[in-house]
Amino acid sequence: MSEFLSNFDVDSVREDFPILEREVRGKSLIYLDNAATTLKPKMVAEAVYEHYLMGASNVHRGVHQLSEDATRLYEGSREKVRKFLNARRSEQVIFTSGTTASINLVAKSYGKSNLKEGDEIIISQVEHHSNIVPWQMLCQEVGCTLKVIPMNAAGELIIEEYEKLLSERTKIVSVVYISNALGTINPVKTITEMAHKHGAVVLLDAAQAVAHTPIDVQSLDCDFLAFSSHKLFGPTGVGVLYGRTELLAKMPPLMGGGDMIETVTFEKSTYAKLPNLHEAGTPNIAGVIGLGAAVDFVTGVGLKQIAAYEDRLLEYGTKKLIEVEGLKLIGTAENKASVLAFTLDGVHPHDIGSVLDMDGIAVRAGHHCAQPVMQFYGVPATARASLSLYNKKEEIDKLAESLTKLREMFI
């Protein structure tokens, strides 16, 4: 066990997550649905609780102590995210309601303002619906064309085919960093470099990547990057859009209202500078403060250490699951994160999820908001066990044991 864990103390980490002491159906909880949402450490819940209990004031608009405190914490979280992403300036961090909202903001603001009929947008075959539908809507609205990078049977993007799609008509390339359905880690730096040679801007969907690998937007050289707080052990309903200053500043605001204005008359309004330009109305203040605490938590543990531990856990989990008779792993990319998607002969994924729940094991069953991926593999759905820093190899042992018993029930 000590060799497996190396210098990563998973038992100490688990103490920060009281929910792991909970019983489900009379069994100890085994939480393997981290790709859907991660659990929350105590320090995140305490930060949100503290704001509502002792703060609960609006930001930016008050001169009293409570408003000043809330503003300091809110903007403090922005600076924490800036450092976390290695962005140059805090104004490049826009708070949204999540990855979906961030991608829609780029599509509906930057896209609508800069694309025209005949232009092209490139996405990939492994995308989540939130990185497909906004671009389809934009194409319908302005008359541009959506193109798709194909993948191979392992779930890896075929870069040679991507190169063929690029041209002077390519204006936006928007790809997922890590697939939520397969765990594939895409070569996003290479994808970005290739797009830039054709003058296209690049958006990276980092919803799954943000809790699994260090992200450096300057090194990646992406133009936009989106992620959600709840994938990073933070509150739901909060997200981030990172963007290049010159692009964000020229994007028309998607929403109008308080805090995004400079002056308002009945004849004309002028707009505030970044980041307020894209943050109309009262924001999710407590959620943003909680996100700041989540960044502190992850930074304290160390993302490199987390990634190394999860790689070992994935390797162990892969070996255990392929030993289960009738089980087929879906997504076997050479470079992948801690997602184990699978089917089991004779058992529908929804039945897998329901029966595992009786053993206290939480997995996801369905199309994972990635229906084109399911169509590629010719399956209606998969079961997905997604791992995080608080999972243990004993939990994987229990999963494999339960799957073996489950299959015997259905044959």
Report pTM.
0.96
pLDDT higher than 50, residue 2? no
Q: Mean pLDDT of all residues in the chain?
A: 96
pLDDT higher than 80, residue 4: no
pLDDT, residue 5, reads 44
Which residues belong to the active site?
Answer: 369
- The CA distance from 240 to 96, in Å, is 6
Could you read off the pLDDT of 277-298 as tens digits, one per residue? 999 999 999 999 999 999 999 9
pLDDT tops 60 at residue 328: yes
In the chain the domains, ranked by start, together with CATH numbers, are 2-40+302-410 (3.90.1150.10), 45-300 (3.40.640.10)
Cα gap 61→92, rounded to integer Å: 21
Task: Give the angle subtended at the CA of 285 by the CAs of 283 and 291, to the nearest 5°.
Answer: 115
- Segment 46-53 mean pLDDT: 96
